[in-house]
Amino acid sequence: MGVNWSMIYRKSGPLGWYAVHTPFGKRFMMMVNMDDILVSLPFFSYGALSRNEPETVDSKVEFTFDGKQLTCNDPKVKWHVRMLRPVSEHFHTVKVVSWLRLAETPQAQLSRFTSNVRRKINKAISNEITLETGGLELVGQFYGVFAHNMHRLGAPSMSKSFYSGIVEAFGRDATVLIAKHHGKAIGGAIWLKRGDYGEACWFSTLEDYNSFYTSYFLWWSCIKHSIERNCKVFSFGRSTRDSGPHLYKQQWGARNSTLYWSFSYPPRNDQFKVGPFRINMPDRTILSFLWKISPCFIIRWLGPMVAGKFY
């Protein structure tokens, strides 16, 4: 069963497949038209070229990759591509993806961790943190934790329906994991599987329960779930290079791959587009502070519109 990508991007913009001519033959790339920019897999860490020809391919716009540069047959088309290598002279490398090669069993994987990581996992279990797994029925609990934490951090989040759409689109290859303490949701993750690759794309825990080592419990649950679902690699998702979350992931023995976000144009991060208007953005620190102090009813309404611009 394939992923129903249109279910994920139904509110983001028109979704299409585009031919890419490469030295190795014809490939295909899925892109979403967001504010007149073709973006490969927005909201995910990176995309890849497919060998399989989809049923419908755009007949007007196509790309050529000569092994170094990606070009479009229409020079007026703006594009943004995320890959594990640069394909344009305009790119940035702020983000990295951290991943872990998995052992064959949870027990073997646990033995690979440092004694300190194992101690914190066991401490979380002794603190009576339990796990609940499921699908769409748990998205509400996940979103309650995730949206609360994003507000605390001063960052907008997408709507609950967006995350429901992802879980529904991936079907049996999506799992919602909820960490609970005495029945209360204190952590949540959305886990996705593609082939032998498992990833916790969205992950959050409540700060008030940090002393319970909730994050260690929940990350271990995601890793263990990946092994039980026959994955060979687990991804902790992307993070900003050298940030707190990035450094945290290293203690699990994770390796890092640089994410190259390539553009057909010199990107600007100081404004975003709403309809026909381009709005100049204030300093990110100021914006984050204003978001933190904004009432919940405002961020619930405005959050998805703002978050959708930072794909």
DSSP string, 148-216: HHHHHHT-----HHHHHHHHHHHGGGEEEEEEEETTEEEEEEEEEEETTEEEEEEEEE-GGGGGGTHHH
Where in the chain are the domains? 5-95+262-282, 105-231+283-311
184 band by pLDDT with thresholds 50, 70 and 90: very high
Beta strands in 73-168 (DSSP E): 78-83, 90-92, 95-101, 129-134
pLDDT at 149: 80
What CATH architecture does domain 105-231+283-311 belong to? 3-Layer(aba) Sandwich (3.40)
> Can you give the pTM of this predicted structure?
0.86
- How do 95-101 and 255-258 pair as beta strands? antiparallel
Query: Could you read off the pLDDT of 23-53 as tens digits, one per residue?
Result: 999 999 999 998 899 999 888 888 889 999 9
pLDDT at 100: 97
For residue 172, pLDDT beyond 60: yes
Task: Please report, as a single letter, which amino acid is at residue 161.
Answer: S
* Terminal-to-terminal C-alpha distance of the chain: 26
Residue found by looking up tokens 């390796």 in the block: 255
Query: Could you read off the pLDDT of 83-99 as tens digits, one per residue?
Result: 999 999 999 999 999 99
Q: How large is the greatest C-alpha to C-alpha distance in the chain, in angstroms?
A: 60
Mean pLDDT over the full length of the chain? 88
Do the Cβ atoms of 226 and 191 come closer than 8 Å? Answer: yes
